[in-house]
Amino acid sequence: MGVRIKEFPNTFLELSPQGKKELLRTMIRIRSFETRVEELFLAKRIPGFVHLYIGEEATASGIMANLRKDDWITSTHRGHGHALAKGAQMNRMMAELYGKRSGYCKGKGGSMHIADFSVGMLGANGVVGGGFTIAVGAGMTAWMKKTDQVAVCFFGDGASNRGTFHEALNMAAIWKLPVLFVNENNQYASTTPASYGVSVSRISDRAASYGIEGYTVDGNNVVEVYNAAHTLIGRLRSGKGPILLECRTYRVKGHYVGDPEKYRTREEVKKQMEENDPIRRYSTYLLEQSFIQHEEIDTLWKEAREEVEVAVQFAEQEPYPSPEEALEDLTSSRQEVFA
Amino acid sequence: MSILSFSEATLQAMTEEMERDPTVFVMGEDIARQGGIFGQFKGLPERFPGRVLDTPISETAIIGSALGAALTGLRPVADMHFADFISVAYDEVVNQIAKNRYMFGGQADIPLVIRAPDGIVPGAAAQHSQSVEGWLMNIPGLILVAPSSPATAKGLLKSAIRSNDPVIYFEHKLLYPQKGEVPDQEYLTPLGKAEIRRTGKDVTIVTYSIMVQKSIEAAQNLAREGIEVEIIDLLTIKPFDAETIVTSVRKTHRCVIAHEGVVYGGAGAEIAAQIQQEAFFYLDAPILRIGTKNVPIPFSPPLLEYVAPKVSDIERAVKKALYREGV
């Protein structure tokens, strides 16, 4: 069932002129956010550690453009892009990265646990492969309540080797749950290349084990990602059961900010940035097809950077939680904390 | 009052709660077609079509998908077949379910119950006999309960299903066929509240699950020797009712903690620590703990007999706490 890499149109995009621009806007907003987050982390304004989505923006943007607010997603430790594309607010995201009280998780989660349940973003997950079964559960809710909502589970090439992948895909398949398993194959599981750690050359081939459809697309071509998601999510809504979609992409930055990246060459990264940048590729496409003007693209970048700066100002000015707030939010009704 | 078995009482709780709330459903291995390996789901799938789901042997997916369902508007009851298999889904229990509400800043409630049949069954050996509450005592965010009778089995299960926080419901396998009185009118057994099963002035026994019965038996034997013990049935193991325990120990000045789980690092360790913190100057003897010896549960009858906690162990501990001769 592993279908050839170009199953879906990669040059024809059936979207309104506004929709086409919105797709670019989402990608640029993610890139601008992540670029600034890297600077802020290196300037020690953001504590902990951060995993950046730079270079993978086409996947989140192309998929999420096909989702409704009442659809659900589960995310990974590299979750900023998923949150933004699903509709999370930059202000509250940045505040969370700073550890501030007005952050999405009141400072209890940080980068690796970014979440906005109000828009169906059920959380970034610090455990690789932790989201599979949660997405299956969301799919069960749609199935049992007989709605046409869908759940999308984002996961990396490394997570496809977890046992949770197997249990989740099998369970989703037997009950024909509306779950799209989106593999973001960014070529590296932390420092381990997918070519070494994954037994198949195409992760979508693993779909055959569960009797479900599997596809591989160019995850850095947002036109192809959008078209694939459009078709496949439509199938999910009509009750045809789960689908595995592999989006081939590339992690331009290290596993985390500060990663010495001894496992790959600078030339490899440089080549990817020059030839395979999803934002540059999509901008070129839109310009060549006369769907957009240079000035409009410049405006999108300018607006995104301004939005990020507003978010940074917000995060800088917001207060930290008071220390004793560390004991809140454990349970809904009682303070079950033993000092 | 009606006389029901423990498993019938849990079935009644499931039925009432599924009637009451259409978002309640239950899933697990061998529960729909077979009715549960202890008959505790018999008739439920016919009464609630589509809401009693047989799952593949996928403990990780059962527990993880229960979380996903709970986050998105359902109230799942996930059956673990044997409490021992919680280990297969340990990440889902301790890193996902227990932490979800806290690490996302309280964005969602987690109305989820894990039913975990536990405890020693003769011959079931190391991987089908454990009491695993000790594994979970150290995880903030989980509520652990263990009924001791048909009445508490029903009342606690109903409370667990209505809880907006995750509850692990330990049901001892040897209790399923046991019968007892269950009120006819609707009732809930509150979470976090212990019940005093027997009052006495000499020694407090803090216990739960099947060890409540063994403690009552020990108490009857001890009464013949003029020793009156007070028995506290915890019902909720975490967060336990420290107030009831401490009040009792301040009265009796002596305490024995009896559970079936391994003594070393078990629930009794935390209970003992809190008692000495709150009632140190009231104590006339060291707090003693009864439980399984520090080995896996063995198969052969004489080996099991040697490591499992018995009525006579409780009696001996009570006498030791009283500095009686011949212990």
Q: Which two tokens stand for residue B233?
A: 């049935």
Nearest CB partner across the interface for B60, out of A107, A109, A167: A167
Report pLDDT for B326.
58
Examine the pLDDT at B70 and tell me if it is beyond 50.
yes
pTM over 0.90: yes
Return d(Cα B149, Cα A267) in angstroms, integer. 69
| Residues B177 and B255 placed together within one structural domain of the fold | no
Which residue numbers in chain A have pLDDT < 50? Answer: 1-3, 335-339
Would the CB atoms of A117 and B104 count as touching at under 8 Å? yes
**Given this structure, which CATH class describes domain A17-317?**
alpha beta
For chain B, count helices (H), then strands (E): 12, 14
B41 and B154 belong to one structural domain: yes
Q: Among B182, B217, B248, which residue terminates a domain?
A: B182
Least Cα distance to A32 among A308, A314, A310 occurs for: A308
- For residue B12, pLDDT over 60 is answered with yes
Q: DSSP states of A35-69 as a string? A: HHHHHHHHTTSS-S-----TT-HHHHHHHHTT--T
Residue B155 forms part of a structural domain: yes
Query: Are B120 and B208 within one domain?
Result: no
Specify the pLDDT at position A236.
97
Does residue B274 sit in the same domain as residue B203? yes
Contact A195, A237 (CB under 8 A): no
Question: Are residues B168 and B218 both part of a single domain?
Answer: no
Average pLDDT (B150-168) is 97
Give the relative orientation of helices A222-237 and A17-42 as an angle to the nearest 10 degrees: 110
DSSP letters of A81-124? HHHHHHT--HHHHHHHHHT-TTSTTTTSS-GGG--BGGGTB---
| CA-wise closest residue to B288 among B311, B251, B313, B307 | B313
The domains of chain A are located at: 17-317
The verdict on a CB contact (< 8 Å) between B165 and A126 is: no
Contact, A84 vs A116, CB < 8 A?
no
Let me know: does B52 contact A122? Beta carbons within 8 Å. no
If one counts every other C-beta atom within 10 angstroms of the C-beta of residue A329, the result is 18
Pick from B201, B319, B285, B197: which is nearest to B251 by CA? B201
What would the two tokens of residue B155 be? 């009342």
User: Quick one: average pLDDT of B105-127?
Assistant: 96
What's the structural domain count of chain B?
2
Cα distances (Å, whole numbers) of residue B152 to B75, B137, B194, B195: 21, 21, 11, 10
Phi-psi label, residue B52: left if phi above 0, alpha if psi -120 to 50, beta otherwise = beta
Residues A74, B68: C-beta atoms closer than 8 Å: yes
Judge whether B25 lies within some domain: yes
Same domain, yes or no: B168 and B70: yes
| Distance in angstroms (rounded) separating the CA atoms of residues B73 and A46 | 34
Interior CA angle at B85 toward B81 and B87, to 5°?
155
In whole angstroms, give the CA distance from residue A137 to residue B61: 9
Note whether B111 and B147 are same-domain residues. Answer: yes
> Domain boundary at B125, B149, B182, which?
B182
Q: Which of B60, B72, B97 is the mutation pick for testing A, counting most A CBs within 10 A?
A: B72
Q: Quote the minimal CA–CA distance from A205 to chain B in Å.
A: 21
Residue A137 has a pLDDT of 98
Residues 6+ apart with CB under 8 A from B261: B130, B131, B132, B133, B134, B267, B291, B292
Contact yes or no for B64 and A126 at CB 8 A: no
The pLDDT, as a whole number, for residue A9 is: 87
Judge whether B326 lies within some domain: no
Torsion of CA B184, B188, B192, B197, to 10 degrees: -10
Distance between CA atoms of residues B185 and B181, nearest Å: 12
What is the C-alpha separation between B67 and B62, in angstroms, rounded?
9
**Residue B291 confidence (pLDDT) above 60:** yes
In the stretch 41-80 of chain A, residues with CB closer than 8 A to chain B read: 72, 74
B203 and B102 within one domain: no
The 10s digit of each residue's pLDDT in A283-313 is 999 999 999 999 999 999 999 999 999 999 9
Question: Chain B residue closest to A162 (CA)?
Answer: B60
Closest CA relative to residue A212, chosen from A255, A183, A253, A181: A181
pLDDT at A33: 98
B306 domain residue, yes or no: yes
HSE-up (13 A, CA, CB side) for residue A293 = 3
Which amino acid is it at B125?
A
pLDDT at A7: 79
- Which residues of B participate in catalysis according to the annotation? 59, 128
Q: Give chain A positions within 8 Å (CB) of B103.
A: 105, 108-109, 113
Residues of A in contact with B76 (CB under 8 A): 137
Residue ending a domain, among B182, B209, B228, is B182
Q: Scanning every residue of chain A, which has its alpha carbon at the shortest distance from the alpha carbon of B74?
A: A141
Residue A270 CB coordination number (10 Å) = 11
Same structural domain, B8 and B141 = yes
Chain A residue with CA closest to B112: the answer is A137
- Give the per-residue pLDDT at A337: 42
Chain centroid to Cα B212, Å, comes to: 11
Interchain pair A167, B56: CB under 8 A: yes
Each residue's pLDDT tens digit, B253-274:
999 999 999 999 999 999 999 9
Among A123, A142, A328, select the one facing B104 at the smallest CB separation: A123
Is residue B178 domain-shared with residue B203, that is, in the same domain? no
B92 shares its domain with B227 = no
CB nearest to A329's CB, from B56, B66, B101: B101
Instruction: Tell me if B66 sits within 8 A of B100, measured CB to CB.
Output: no
Instruction: Specify whether the CB–CB gap between A153 and A135 falls below 8 A.
Output: yes
- Please, are residues A251 and A188 in contact by the beta-carbon 8 Å criterion? yes
The per-residue pLDDT for A6 is: 64
Same structural domain, B164 and B278: no
CATH code of the domain in which B247 resides: 3.40.50.920
Q: Contact at 8 Å (CB) between A34 and A313?
A: no
CA dist., res. A61 & res. B9, Å (int): 51
> Which residues in A lie closer than 8 A to residue B92 (C-beta atoms)?
133
Q: Find the length of chain A.
A: 339
- Residue B236: give the domain boundaries: 195-321
